[in-house]
Amino acid sequence: MIYKSKHIILLVIQLMALNLFAIDANKIIEKANDQYNRGLYDSAIVNYQYVIDNGLEAGELFYNMGNTHYKNNDLASSILYYEKAKKLLPNDESIEYNLNIANSMIVDKIEKVPELFYQRWWTFFYNMLDTNTGAILTLILFALFIISIGFFILSQTRNNRKLTFYLSLFLLLLIVVSTTLTWQRYNNSLEQKEAIVFVPSITIKSSPTQNAVDLFVIHEGTKVKIMDKIDNWLEIKINNGSKGWLPEKSIREI
């Protein structure tokens, strides 16, 4: 009994601490917003960063941080935080708009590898659904599928049974698509790592050594996908499909 009581007390203390920080964080964010509006960008960044360092993750917070870095003429940091905000709020038009503006100002203009029509459709629906929305949609579709099966079993006429049969097949197809999209987005959030280049320029190598063959050069603010890691070197891939190695210290993960 004493053992359990200790854990209950610790839990209560932790919850109180979290609640106090939440109240404190709101005040700090309000202060940072005011500093941003007054053009005190360095001070605003310090306060936003304090909240982020204490574990608060929110799309709006990252968006504000991106805007502040942009106003402070730090393109790489602004792109980093816009990308962080986009992960949490994938359909937010303001984030997408500001991210496009920031990307238009960096040196590298890397064209994405053209996608086939079915890949474009898949990407379109993938971007529409975040993990939570996809899970809710799948549950709703499954409930409708069960209802349609019930109507199929209870239907007395041939036409009604035919209609509910095809409706059930269509709903089953949507369930498969929704589940696959949700699972893919969830896996990507865990496994797929992306980063932003944070040095003025970096030469990409053919292997994870400084003496390896030079492949190409990318510049500050460019987004890369992390493919592999060996010691302090990362294998990266850029939008046009090119791959190579760079030092880990030259990028910051989104």
* Residue pLDDT, tens place only, 36-85: 999 999 999 999 999 999 888 889 999 999 999 999 999 999 999 999 99
Domain contains 112? no
Residue 156's pLDDT is what? 82
Q: How far is CA 69 from its chain centroid?
A: 19
Per the CB < 8 A criterion, the answer to whether 206 and 236 are in contact is: no
**Higher per-residue confidence, 44 vs 131:** 44
Q: Which of 104, 134, 157 delimits the end of a domain?
A: 104
**Higher per-residue confidence, 124 vs 25:** 25
Confidence of residue 160 (pLDDT cuts 50, 70, 90): confident
Confidence of residue 14 (pLDDT cuts 50, 70, 90): very low
**Higher per-residue confidence, 101 vs 4:** 101
Residue 5's pLDDT is what? 44
Domain contains 152? yes
Residue 186's alpha-carbon distances to 29, 50, 58, 96, 224, in angstroms, are: 29, 28, 18, 21, 20
Domain count, the chain: 3
Q: Is 92 helix (H, G, I), strand (E, B) or coil?
A: coil
Q: How far is CA 231 from its chain centroid?
A: 26
Report the C-alpha gap between 142 and 149 in whole angstroms: 11
Buried-state track 98-126, b at ≥16 Cβ within 10 A, e below 16: bbeebbeebebebeeeeeeeeeeebeeeb
Residue 234's alpha-carbon distances to 106, 214, 216, 229, in angstroms, are: 22, 15, 15, 4
Residue 251's pLDDT is what? 96
Confidence of residue 140 (pLDDT cuts 50, 70, 90): very high
Q: Which of 159, 191, 223 delimits the end of a domain?
A: 191
Say whether both 46 and 76 belong to one domain. yes
Q: Taking 90 as the threshold, does the pLDDT of residue 127 lie above it?
A: no
What's the DSSP call for residue 115? P
248: CATH: 2.30.30.40
Q: Which of 82, 104, 126 delimits the end of a domain?
A: 104
Q: How far is CA 189 from its chain centroid?
A: 7
Domain with 234, as residue range(s), is 193-253
Name, in order, each residue with C-beta under 8 angstroms of 240's C-beta and a sequence gap of 6 or more.
110, 111, 112, 113
Residue 6's pLDDT is what? 44
